[in-house]
Structure 1
Amino acid sequence: MIEPKLIPKRILPRYGFHGHTEKLNGRLAMIGFIALVILEIKLGHGLLVR
């Protein structure tokens, strides 16, 4: 098999819906949700309800 002499570089887009940004957004949302659940457990009630 012949190998190419020049391998093109992949340029990632700066904005929009792409795999890496969607994964990051999902992970941050999961961390925020877990943090909210832990906070509600420690407070003993919901965040908006007194």
Structure 2
Amino acid sequence: MAKCTNCKGKGSVRMAAKETMPGSVRNLRRNERTRSCPDCLGTGRTR
């Protein structure tokens, strides 16, 4: 479980399991975790 970057880690999220390219992993991870965050759903606001 990872922390969402938008709502400052209030919602724990599942991260993408594929971590092959070290260069783009960071961005991919951030996008994945914010999009699938149960609290803010990538909007940055908690419901």
Q: TM-score, normalised by structure 1?
A: 0.35
Larger Rg: 1
- Higher percent of residues as helix: 1
Counting strand residues as a fraction of each chain, which structure ranks higher? 2
Question: Relative contact order (alpha carbons < 8 A, sep ≥ 6): 1 or 2 greater?
Answer: 2
